[in-house]
Amino acid sequence: MQERGGFQLRTFAFIDRMQPQYAAFMGTLMNGDMPTAGQAELYVEVAPGNAIYRIADIALKSSDVRPGMQLVERQFGILELHARSQEAIRSAASAMLESLELNEEDRLAAQIVSTQVISNVDPYQAQLVNQMRRGSMIVPGEAMLVMEIAPAGYACLAANEAEKAADIKLVSISSIGPAGRIIVSGTESQVQTARDAVIQSIGAIRGRPGQ
């Protein structure tokens, strides 16, 4: 059922409460309604990409939610929804799944592809990372956590959970493509706490194996 006609539910990630840095960062990516801290969010990624149009139509007509992003890239379709009410997001999610004749567990399971903690970041590497960031800047001497997650959409959940768990700086989120990536910085203790929280939250996502 989950891949009938070639359809694949890749990411189906519910975020209960967007953290301040995360919400601000996502606002730099949106071309629709801008999210704010404290809102609930649903991030959906499907293949083939064009399927996202029908899914967005169903969600928006079923519940009082707002779309921040609707994107069809080379391989996948992406939809971001947010609302003040968690119930509104859950209602939209239920409507989507019902229309697709799927359960939440029919999404792909999330996996952490790689994890790196770099201590005492060199000034030259800090400058290289800062060139591509939309969030905070890394200061030389800080520790940096880089985590790669698949499917890519789960990087959003990972970033939000990292901010919940530790007083880190959110530097970058990449949530499009086969795999996603987050970069955060802080003290070594802070980034290790963030890493552990992400590992726990990603490990709790139930889904089917795939890529």
Per-residue model confidence as pLDDT tens digits over 62-79? 999 999 999 998 889 999
Report CA Rg, the chain: 17
**Residue 85: predicted pLDDT:** 96
The CATH architecture that domain 111-203 belongs to is 2-Layer Sandwich (3.30)
pTM of the model: 0.92
Encode pLDDT of 10-23 as tens digits.
999 999 999 999 99
Q: Which of 179, 173, 112 is nearest to 152 (CA)?
A: 179
With a CB cutoff of 8 Å and minimum separation 6, the contacts of 168 are: 145, 162, 184, 185, 186, 190, 191, 194
Fold equal for 4-106 and 111-203: yes
Fold type of domain 4-106? Alpha-Beta Plaits (3.30.70)
Q: How confident is the model at residue 1 (pLDDT cuts 50, 70, 90)?
A: very low
CA pair distance 24, 13, nearest whole angstrom: 18
Domain extent listing, the chain: 4-106, 111-203
